[in-house]
A and B are shown apart, each in its own frame.
Chain A
Amino acid sequence: MTQWNRRAVMAIPALAGLNPRIAAAQSAETAAAPPHGTLAAQPQETFEAAEQAILAGRTPLATGITVDIPPLSENGNAVDVAIRIDSPSTAADHVTAIHLLSEKNPVTRIASFGLTARAGRAEIATRIRLATTQTVLVLAETSRGQVHRASREVIVILGACVDGG
């Protein structure tokens, strides 16, 4: 993404929130299994099945989408990815959802983003874990029913799912 000039707004750290588990322990439920509606709701979903489910019969466009991700990552624990879709971002024509899929991670759906016309630009960035060298797939849905598609190959030297001490 572009370089910005900005003033950091320092959020006041919580004293109880020093360890989120302390706050979470105060809630009645304990996490035995992921709750409904989260991305792990389909734990065995394959890469191909996830793409087909999101496409829902639509033919995707290979244009109008930019994905910035390093072709080689020394450490799969933190791979930066930035996605931009060419979109007027109007009420009539804006990106509604962006999906990030992994070919070889234990969980196929890395993240999904929900946008509105108020975004101004269809532009997001985040930091992902990659277990091994693989394909990362981006699918972006628009309010006009179109889907943009881009895939990138990422070579990962040290996978995210090992711990060497």
Chain B
Amino acid sequence: MTRRRAALRGVVQAARRVGVQAALRAGVQAALQAMVLGTLPWLGAVAQEIRPSRDFLSPALRAQQDDPSRHPGWLWVDEGEALWRRGDRSCQSCHGDIGGMAGVATRYPAVAADGALLNLAGRIERCRTQHQAEPAFGHESEPLLALTVAVALQSRGLPMAVAIDGPAAPFLAAGRSLYATRQGQLNLSCGQCHDDNAGRRLRGDVISNGLGTGYPAYRLEWNGMGSLHRRLRACSLGVRATQFGLGSPEYLALELFLASRATGLPVEAPGLRR
């Protein structure tokens, strides 16, 4: 397929997915990707097959995800919103009402001024240590999960729109490379499940496109809330590959790539997952 046809297909598919206004942006993005990133054939296929993560949930689970009175993740939202207001140097003292965070989660992961790639939780930890003069909460801690999901919630329903050019480009390349690399004793790449077999069942679960837009998410298997990196560690374990650390550069780069795959698709946090 020619690059122009791939770009046009991207525009058409994006229009179907997200509506006309956002389609222009998403279509340009897809076209840029097709042109800049080369003619990797599966990228063209990806542009046409990627669906929101909620589409892969059972009707019962999706209904629960949409019901704040029954979805346990909202308990962390409540705690996060309280944390937002807490203390003399609270988040609120700088940022005002948490509603002002609308749109923020759609832009993360993002490259900070010092060149570091930060996801939303990392950005919050930086605020905590650099602006609030407090010790970091720590990866996967309850307060960090609560604050992260409370901030992400303000973007629920908004289309993902991470920057992938400029300083983000090398991180995106690293993430894309990890996504495409066969790993582990099972010798599987992310794409082999999340592109080639999305929608099919694996051990009683339905394989999604692996976008990560529902994170932080409440996973029934965890009986609690967890971050995308925790979920990625479970993926790595699943193919018997080396698990990287929470907040590791490998998972951060992968997170950026997943976010770019989700361009134009809605933030779903707090997600509800098996």
Contacts and interface: CB of A to CB of B under 8 A. Distances in A.
B224 to A, nearest CB: 10
A74 B82 contact: no
Interface string A1-28: 0000010101111010011000000000
B274 interface: yes
A11 B77 CA distance: 12
A6 B79 CA distance: 22
Interface string B95-109: 000000000000000
A158 B60 contact: no
Interface in B123-163: 142-143, 146
B78 interface: yes
Interface residues of A, number: 20
B146 A163 contact: no
A74 B203 CA distance: 10
Contacts of A80: 60
Interface residues of chain B: helix, strand, loop or mixed (majority): helix
A14 B79 CA distance: 8
Contacts of A164: 221, 234, 237
B86 to A, nearest CB: 6
A10 B274 contact: no
Contacts of B143: 18
Interface in A91-116: none
Contact of A13 (B58, B79, B234): B79
A163 B69 CA distance: 26
Contacts of A70: 60
B274 A74 contact: yes
B92 to A, nearest CB: 14
Residue from the set B68, B81, B204, B233 with the largest chain A CB neighbour count within 10 Å: B204
A13 B68 CA distance: 15
B112 interface: no
Given A8-B68, A19-B142, A158-B204, A75 B220 contact: yes
Interface of B: 58, 60, 68-69, 78-79, 81-83, 86, 142-143, 146, 203-205, 220-223, 233-234, 237, 274
